[in-house]
Amino acid sequence: MQELLASLYLWLKAGHIIFVIFWMAGLFMLPRFFVYHQESAVGSPEDAAWIERERRLLKIILLPGIIVVWLLGLALMSAIGAHTQGWFHAKLLVVLALSGYHGWMSAYAKKLARGERVWSGKKLRLMNEVPGLAAAIIVVLAIIKPF
């Protein structure tokens, strides 16, 4: 199995990067959707439209993205033995946190669909910075491998 993964390494890496881009695009879009959604009246046609947009983004882009990112990432880890290296442990911690952020956004979409407006637009705009910061840290860890 190890030899097969090693021979497919570049394909696994390309697929991983492609799906990271999809996943990150969704992580950047959803909080912005929330900002606009919160400005709509509960029960209005605009509210219903935002609920549907958020549902589609979560089901069509974010869910497949996170699943494939994790599967290919674990395959890459196995192919190069990254689990023995410090940079990988740090990267894994940030990816776990980003996955938790994804889960939080999915839960917040459900709250908005129920008419709950818990966070302010300002806080949601700040939350929109989380994926960018996480991506920068992950890229540095994966490319520079500082430890």
DSSP per-residue letters across 94-125: HHHHHHHHHHHHHHHHHHHHTT---S-HHHHH
16 in a labelled binding site: yes
CA 24 – CA 131 distance, rounded (Å): 7
Cβ atoms 80, 16 nearer than 8 A: no
Residue 110 is assigned to a ligand binding site: no
| Number of neighbouring beta carbons within 10 Å of residue 29 | 17
Environment class of residue 27 by beta-carbon count within 10 Å: exposed (0-12), middle (13-18) or buried (19+)?
A: buried
Dig out the tokens for 87 from the structure. Answer: 């940079």
Q: If you ran DSSP here, which 8-state letter would residue 58 be given?
A: I
Residues in the annotated binding site? 16, 91
Annotated binding site for heme: 16, 91
